[in-house]
Amino acid sequence: MSMRSTAFRWGAFYLLGLLVVATLGYMEHNQQDQLASLEQTNQQILGELQTLQLEKIKELGPGRIIQWAKQNGMIPLAEGHWEVAP
């Protein structure tokens, strides 16, 4: 085995290693970009969810339900009259 073939073999391994590291770095960079995009989308969705939850509380909160019940002829139990059947 000559010195030249050994050096060529180590050089080929070195270039292959550099190629593997460069490929892994490229893939990691793409994953980081994708993660940042997903985190931004997640923050937008959480903001929308909070807004929708506040709207839900306004529309379906106890005050709104009482208002609806009164508009439909219902009265609170405390204001009703209890009668016991004979």
Give the pLDDT of the chain (86 residues) as one tens digit per residue: 577 888 999 999 999 999 999 999 999 999 999 999 999 999 999 999 999 999 988 888 888 888 888 888 887 676 656 666 55
Asked if residue 86 belongs to a domain, the reply is: no
Q: Does a structural domain hold residue 63? A: yes
Give every CB contact of residue 64 below 8 A, 6+ residues apart in sequence: 58
The whole domain housing 24 covers 3-74
Report yes or no on 8 lying in a domain. yes
Domain count, the chain: 1
What does the pLDDT read at residue 49?
Answer: 97
So what's the pLDDT on residue 15?
96
Residue 60 lies in a domain: yes
Flag whether 83 is in a domain: no
What is the rounded CA–CA span in Å between residue 17 and residue 46? 43
In a domain, 44, yes or no: yes
- The reply to whether 58 falls in a domain is yes
76 touches 66 (CB < 8 A): yes
Instruction: Please give the model's pTM, rounded to 2 decimal places.
Output: 0.55
